[in-house]
Structure 1
Amino acid sequence: MNGAQALIRTLVGAGVDVCFANPGTSEMHFVAALDSVPQMRGVLGLFEGVATGAADGYARMAGRPAAVLLHLGPGLGNGLANLHNARRAATPVLVVVGDHATYHKRYDAPLESDIDAVAGSVSGWFRRTMRTSDVGTDAAEAVAAARAGAVSTLILPADVSWTEGAEPADAAPVPPSPGVDDDAVRAALVALRSGAPTVLLIGGDATREPGLTAAVRIAEAAGARVLCETFPARLQRGAGVPAVDRLAYLAEAATEQLAGAQHLILAGAKSPVSFFAYPGKPSDLVPQGCAVHVLAGHLDAAGALQQLADELAPGTSAPVAPATRPTPPSGDLNAFSAAAVIGALLPEGAILVDESNTAGIGVAAATAGAPAHDVLTLTGGAIGYGLPAAVGAAIAAPDRPVLSLQADGSAMYTISALWTQAREQLDVTTVIFNNGAYDILRMELQRVGATDAATPGPKALTLLDLGSPAIDFVKIAEGMGVAARRVTTAEGLAAALTDAFAEPGPHLIDAVMPSLLSG
């Protein structure tokens, strides 16, 4: 068999059986090999950023790597933003990048580029396979690296792919678990038993039910506060799940949440910093004089918290969020009435992919008592994540409804993901919070002190406005095969969501609402 066939057989043998792809000429032997390995599902994205974002969403929900196939350096570059998000989430993503044949590279063809440099900017592991006989082994090592929480990238020259004589690897090595650091647990116990104000900040695998339960048990026993990182990779929440607030996005609000803490215990989360620099304001959000203790990293935070909870509060249980829903609102649609409608109607077991940005400000509170659900968030801040991640999540969990909450501006980065949703007939309902502006940047224009005026100048405002012409998301969606409608009232949103949840296949709701900063 050739190198491409050995690669795919190795991936399937290691449990990687979905490949999100936007291929080119150098990857045609991989494409042809798909027909010889029926266990591998190929999913086409019309833009590389859709393929990489879908791989991220898939792996977050499946708990195992997805593959993504890209074309040379420019293709990898187009997919980089969502690989950045995957890196920040420690998502197991395996990237296969085709390259020119080894003998062709010296001619400096138009698409020749430094793929290794681009790959290295987001990859925890990458390798260029130079011999066909090494394809199987290298692919197995790439899977192992991905399983350890890294974006792993395998660069495959075209002639290595098409040459015969390759064999698949028998199995991918299993990376060792990082385990629990007993010394770190003891240090956290000392801090919690000191009686000093303590904050437990959780992230990584601690944002699923076992980690949440342990964290709340600890907080209850020690009188500590527990917070979740601002953008968790996957957060389980809702009725019957221990409730944990997220650290605020705005530095001012996060500072208030952390105020007075003398100990900060990190379990799967990084020490909190401001997302951007602001004139005259600190970047480090840890209160002055607060001691920071690292309990665990991203991959074994839940285990460390469980051990700590059993030491500190043996035999205890954690309180859980009660089942509550908002009263369905009526009248004109705005950010808060839209959130209330979503909270009132969110289905059991939903996967909520959230890239709603400022317009989604009320969603967390409105869904706190909704049926238990998962939330996927924008871990790395590189926008254009939501629509592709919803594709991957729906493929990973085909029996669960996916609700994609999407800001209008960031939707346009990867809008072609709607086409993939239609082609694959995925049960994804997309709600576009359409306020006609980059609202978050309107806010940041003032926060960074770029203008002293209460109302910025017309040129500045033009760059943050999405009107003239207004974007018609209904026509865009319908043009890609997705059923769509526009709503302007809470009643209209409720009716549209009810219909979308009841009917298989993808749907889009263009929810028109005012800017939070208008007036």
Structure 2
Amino acid sequence: MTTGAESLLATLEANDVDVCFANPGTSEMHFVSALDRADRIRGVLALFEGVVTGAADGYGRMTGNPAATLLHLGPGLANGLSNMHNALRSQSPIVNVIGDHATYHRDLDAPLTSDIEGAARPFSHWVRTTPTADSLGQDTAEAVRVSREGKIASLILPADAAWTEVDAANPIAVKAGEPAPDPHVPDGALEAAARVLREEGSRTAILLGPRSATPDALAAADAIAAATGSQVLLNTFMSVISRGAGRHGAQRIPYPVPQSQELLSKFDNILLVGAKPPVAFFAYPDKPSRLYQPGTRFIDLTDGFQRTVESLESLRSELGNTVDTPALELQLPGLPTGEITPEKLGVFLGHSLPEHAVVVDESITTGRSFGEATDAARPHEWLTGTGGSIGYGMAASVGAAIARPDQPVITLEADGSGMYMPQALWTQAREALNITTLIFSNRKYQILRNEMTNVGVPKFGPKAEALLDLNNPGIDWVQLSESMGVPARRATTIEELQAAFTAALEEDGPHLIEVML
């Protein structure tokens, strides 16, 4: 006979879900046991649930296929919600399996009892508590189907549904139905977009959303821009951007409000491709929340967030006068020397990024100049934090490295944000993942210093300074990393950084470099 947990895993396998990032507890032990009989699913342990959900996000971004997570009741889910928020914004496919008390135990109000469905809903597109073992195959298949639309599905698994045997009359593994098709271009949108682009003196931008910066989409958008005098823009925060030599470049909308306003003031029309009208990350006194000019005309070419190149190719056909444009040529800057500064770090990355690297960027303020410096570097993929929830970088790198085992993964991590989930290093070591982490150690929350100025706080006193300072005591990232099993070095000059980076890329497994600023 087969238990509900075995039916759940068999259904995941039948639908090509082949990795489960997990931090299990008592209620999930039958799921854990059943993993031994799920030959095709790789179980990956993380020491904190935020690493679990962040890794699933990174995996989903790189493959387009859902990973499963295993979380322990409401508190375990709560620990993972931060990176579930980022995954929601990046349109990553994820199937969360959240253990719960046995159905007959819930009403007793045991210490770990909570409203799991209520906690999951704001961070999920689909939430369901499976009632019995017999329903698990179908419920799991539906969760997979929903996730393949670039969504988060959260399936709550009562312990007795996991350990009870499935009725012999029910199928053990259930194939998921087809995901809903990508939305069609809204009626009249192509004609309206073509008309705007043909207008004399048209000032038009083509804005690509979080999942839209694929090589084909960038090439199509660039061809349209070249033919019509428009400009291709990207959201400030993107799920994945295909960049470097052999790809087509595009400008990201800057984070600071004045710079983004200056850029967007150049356009009367914005064509949305998997994007929304751009707004400020936060509200600021005396600054607008909408970054575009009043009266800006928007035309939505994709009817939502689904990633697609079909709308751009259809627009090319509607215009009828576009030709392919040349991709970027390789342009490596010279390697800087001496003292490490943020500006030199950008040039260093432009010079040193290996071919087909996957760059996971949570560099926060240090990385403001990295984009321009790496535009024409060797071809690579660039991932950014999409939801603004801190601590995604090292966790997402775990999933990215498992998704792309033959490509080097480079994590660009600020020291403050890195301390949200340093446990990711342990999983990197345990799984022998090829990840090189650069920790930019300025020993302060510089982003918050900038934000205090942006919101109009007049000055910092000693109490405010204490809340933004990481230097008392200082964090020794080399010791911390090595305690987790990841070899580490410290770099105080560009020469030391280059030597450590080269050595890390030449050796298998994870490495960390603390970059002193």
TM-score past 0.5 threshold: yes
SS across alignment from 1:511: strand
Distance 1:51 1:205 in 2: 21
Distance 2:495 2:39 in 1: 46
Shift in Å, 1:280: 1.4
Distance 1:310 1:426 in 2: 44
Distance 1:126 1:56 in 2: 18
Distance 1:272 1:29 in 2: 46
Structure 2 gaps, min length 5: none
Aligned to 1:470: 474
Q: CA RMSD, aligned part only? A: 1.1
With 192-201 and 377-386 compared, the bigger mean Cα shift is at 192-201
* TM-score between both structures, scaled by the size of structure 1: 0.97
Aligned to 1:226: 232
With 499-508 and 253-262 compared, the bigger mean Cα shift is at 253-262
Structure 1 gaps, min length 5: 514-519
2:490 counterpart of 1:490? no
Aligned to 1:500: 504
Aligned to 1:240: 246
Aligned to 1:481: 485
Aligned to 1:14: 15
SS across alignment from 1:404: strand
Aligned to 1:91: 92
Distance 2:227 2:172 in 1: 52
Moved over 3 A (4+): none
Matching residue's letter, 1:270: K
Does the 8 Å CA contact 2:316/2:322 hold for their aligned counterparts?
no
Aligned to 1:156: 157
Aligned to 1:336: 343
Shift in Å, 1:313: 4.5
Aligned to 1:194: 199
Aligned to 2:76: 75
SS across alignment from 1:227: strand
SS across alignment from 1:482: coil
Aligned to 1:169: 173
Aligned to 1:254: 260
Q: CA offsets, 1:430-481, max 9 Å, x none?
A: 000111111110011111012x23xx21111111111011100000000000
Relative to 1, partners in 2 of residues 1:313 and 1:325: Cα closer, same or farther, differing over 3 Å? farther
* TM-score between both structures, scaled by the size of structure 2: 0.97
Shift in Å, 1:175: 1.0
Does the 8 Å CA contact 1:335/1:362 hold for their aligned counterparts?
yes
What pairs with 1:16-35 in structure 2 (closer than 5 Å)? 16-35=17-36
2:288 counterpart of 1:282? yes
Q: Percent identity over the alignment?
A: 50
SS across alignment from 1:361: helix
Paired residues in the alignment total 510
Aligned to 1:53: 54
Aligned to 1:457: 461
SS across alignment from 1:269: coil
With 255-264 and 16-25 compared, the bigger mean Cα shift is at 255-264
SS across alignment from 1:205: coil
Shift in Å, 1:193: 1.4
Distance 2:260 2:309 in 1: 23
Shift in Å, 1:162: 0.3
Aligned to 1:512: 516
Matching residue's letter, 1:266: L
Q: CA offsets, 1:468-503, max 9 Å, x none?
A: 111000000000000000001011111111001110
Shift in Å, 1:121: 1.1
Distance 1:183 1:68 in 2: 41
SS across alignment from 1:76: helix
Does the 8 Å CA contact 1:218/1:313 hold for their aligned counterparts?
no
Distance 1:44 1:230 in 2: 32
Matching residue's letter, 1:193: R
Matching residue's letter, 1:272: P
